[in-house]
Amino acid sequence: MSPYGDKGWKIMKRGGVRVTKVFKTKKEALEYSKTLCKNQEAVIFIQRKDGSFQDVKNYRDE
């Protein structure tokens, strides 16, 4: 999950080249990411607007 210029926040698979989905707010992107990752036992890497990493959420063991 990372900033997407003026468009908002984007969701992408790690190592992917295509954007999965774009959201206007970071909150909306995080909600969607949580649902997606819980279904796939994945990890969310959350970036700040400056590109640095804010947090990592692990849903592999849940």
Q: Round to whole Å and give the CA distance between 46 and 8.
A: 14
pLDDT in tens, the chain (62 residues): 999 999 999 999 888 899 999 999 999 999 999 888 877 878 899 999 998 999 998 877 55
The residues facing 57 across adjacent strands are 44
Q: Tell me the domain boundaries of the chain.
A: 2-58
The pLDDT, as a whole number, for residue 42 is 86
Q: Round to whole Å and give the CA distance between 42 and 7.
A: 25
* Phi, psi angles (nearest 5°) of residue 57: -110, 125
